[in-house]
Chains A and B, each alone.
Chain A
Amino acid sequence: MTSYMPPADRIWWKVPVGRVELVWIALALVWCVIMFLMMPYWHIYGKQNLSTEAYQTTPAAYGAKVQAMVEQYKVRDEANLPVVAPPAGSDIYMLGRLWQWWPILELEKDKSYRLHLSSMDWQHGFSLQPTNINLQVVPGYEMVIEITPDKAGEYGVICNEYCGIGHHTMVGKIYVKE
C-alpha cells in the first residue's frame, strides 16, 4: 500500500536494501556489461559487422556510377534488367528506385566486393533473402559495405522499407556462382 502513499520512513533512502534485490541487481549488471562488451568483441573477432563508410551523394551522381558499371560489365539481360558480373574485389553498385532494384548482380562465391547502395527517390530497404541481411537505403547517401558471399545460389533482394503502392513489386536479384 505504500506504493501510493508516501514512504513510511522519512529518510527512505537510508533504509538498507534487501538481499534478493542486491543479488539480482548484481547479476543483472554483470549481464548488462557482458552484452555491452559483445558488440566491440564482435567488431574485433566477428565477421558480420556494419561498415561506417558512407558518402553524401545525389541521385544523378549515383545513377551515373551505376550506369558506368553496367556498361562496363554487363553480361546479359533478364526480364529487361541488365545482369552485371564485375570482377572480384571491385566496387559494385545497386540502386533502389520506385519500384525496382537495379541492376542484377552476378558474383563469385568466397570473393569480396565493395557493395554500394543508394536510392534514387524515397527510402527503400535492402533485404537479401534467404540469407536475411537487411540494410536501410536512404536517398542522398551512398553506403559502402564489403561483402563476401559464402554460399552459391540465387538470392532475392526484396524491399522492406515501405515505399508506396508498388512496394511489394520491388524485387531484385543477386546471383552467386561457385
Chain B
Amino acid sequence: MKSYETIVVGGGPAGMMAAITLGSKGVKTLILDENDELGGQLVKQTHKFFGDHAHYASVRGFEIAQKLQEKIFQDTNIEVETSATVIGIYPNKMVVYAKNGKEFKATYEKLLISTGAMEKQLPFINSDLPGVYGAGAVQTLMNEYGVMPGRRFLIIGSGNIGLILAYQLIQAGAEVRGIVEALGKIGGYAVHAKKIKRLGVPIFLKHTIVRAIGNESVLGAVIAKVDNNFNIIPGTEVEKVADTICVSVGLTPLSELAEQAGCKVEYIPQLGGYVPVRNERMQTSNPDVFIAGDLSSIEEATTAMIEGKIAALEMSRNFIKIAANKKNIENEINDEIKTLALFRSGPKSAKIRTGLEKFGINIKHVPKIESYGVQIGPTGKLRAIVDCTEEIPCNSCEAACSFGAIHIGENLNSTPVVDYDKCTGCATCVTACPGLAIHMLKEDLENSTALVGIPYELLPLPEKGQKMWALDEDGNYVCDSIVKRVVKYPNKTNIVYIEVPIEFSRKVLSVSFPKKESPFVCRCEEITLDKIERVVDSGITDFEELKRLTRVTMGPCGGKNCKLVVLGILSRKTGVPISKLSHGTSRPPVKPVEFSLFMKGSDPT
C-alpha cells in the first residue's frame, strides 16, 4: 500500500487540471482513472471547445486532453494510474482500486473526487430495443473506436450534447433525421443548434418520443407533441424512420464515491441531481475531501478545469509551510473564483447560479453583459459577419483576431462586436469560432453577385469551379453557386468561398454538394426544387398559383424561409426579375399561435 499527499479520482479535465496544479506546487499526487487514457469526456470530443480562450477554448476536445496529459507526464510529482477503477473509499483515508484484475490500495491526506457524471435514462416503450443508445455510448463507438452504430439517427434531447452529437454524426457521414426536444426552446447553445440546422437537421420542439418501432431492432420511432405539462397531445403522433435512437436528456453526477468518503449530498436538480455539498473552494462536508467538475454541477470543461484548480490550490495549502507562499496561493484562489464567477454570469448559467445559491454560494459583482444584434458591415468590403447574439461564455473570436477588430470585453458572456474599419478580411476568426457562427461576405454590385465564405468541416472538400448548392439557415436549398476558392486550415475548419446572386447574399449560410434527390425548397411542406420546376414547366408561372398548387410558402413559417427562393426559381425560369414578380400577401398571425391564446380574454381596448 502506497501513501500519497493527495489522490485524485477521475482523470477528466477537472481531475487533470487539479493534478497539474498540485504537482506544480510540489504536492505528491496520484491520479486514477478507469479508462486506458486520461481525458474523461474530452477524449470523445472531436469538436472545438467553447469557453475562455485562456482555458483551451477553440481547441478540439481530444487535443485539450493531449495537452493536459503532456503536462502531467512531465511532472515527477504526479503518478498516473489508468485502467484503474476505484471501487471504494474506505476508512483511514484509503482508496481501493482494481487494475488488471488485481486489487490495489493507496492512502491520502487530501482527496479530490472528480468522477464526472453519467447519462440520464428516458423511459419510453421499446427503449430496450437494440438500436437505442445513450449519446455517450454513440460518441465512444464513433470517435474512439471508429464504429458507426447505424445510418439514420434520431436524437432525443437538444442540449449541447445532443446538438454536438448530431454534428459529429453528420461529419461521420450518417444521416440525422431530427432532434426531439420536449421544451419549447433549444437547450444548448444557439450557435450549436444553428450549425446543425444549416445542415438540414430539423429540431422538433415541444415533442417527445412515444415509442421505438421495431421487433428485432429499431426501425423508427413515434414522436408526438407535448403540452406545457409534458403530456402527449393525442392525434399529434407521427412516425420517423431511423435505425438508431440516441437519448441525450442530460447528465447526473456520479456521487457514490463522494458519499462513501463521508460527504453530505443533497438533491439539487439545477446542478444535475444528487451532488455533494461543498463550499466555494470545493471542500465538502468532510474537510479532507474535495470535488470538482461535473460531479459538483453539470457544466463545462472550462468550469471543470477552474474548479479542479481551485480545489487543488486549497488542498495544497495544507502542504505548504512558508507563509509568503500561502499568501500567494490565497491570491490565486481568489483570482480563479473571480474567473469562475464571470464565466457563470451569463443567462445560460442561470440554473447553475440558482443551484449554487442553495450552498450559499452567490455570484455577484459581475460586469455588465453587452449584447448586440448581427452587424452587416459595409457593403462591398470583404469582411466577417458574426452571427452570435446569444450570451454564452465564449471569446475565441476576440482572441483570434490579430487586428483587434472583434471586441467582447471583460465579461466573456458579452456578444462580439466587430469594428469594420479594423477588419482586414483575413478570416482567422471564421476558423477559430467553435460555433461556426462567423462567415465571410463581399458583395459585387457591378455583377450583382456576392462572395460568401462558409466554414466547412465535412469531407470531401469541394473544389474550385465546382457547382454547389447554396443553403439557408435551415439547410434548405436557396440557389446554385460556384466555388471560387477553398482555403484549408490546420485546425480542419476550412473555408469554402462561393459566388451567389446578390439577392441571396444574406440568406446563404451553408453549402452542400448537389444531391441526386432534389433539394427541399420548403421544408415545412416538404416541397422539392424538382416539384416546383415541374409545376412551373407545366405552365404555372404565377407565384400565387404556384403556391396554391404546391403549398410552397403555405406552411407554418408563412413563407419566411422559402418565398424568396421560390421567386428566384420563377425568375430564373421566366426571365422576369424578382423585383417585377408579385410576391403574395402577408396574413396574420405572423407566427402560428395556439387557440388557447384567445381563451384567456383579450387586452381591453
A and B assemble together: no
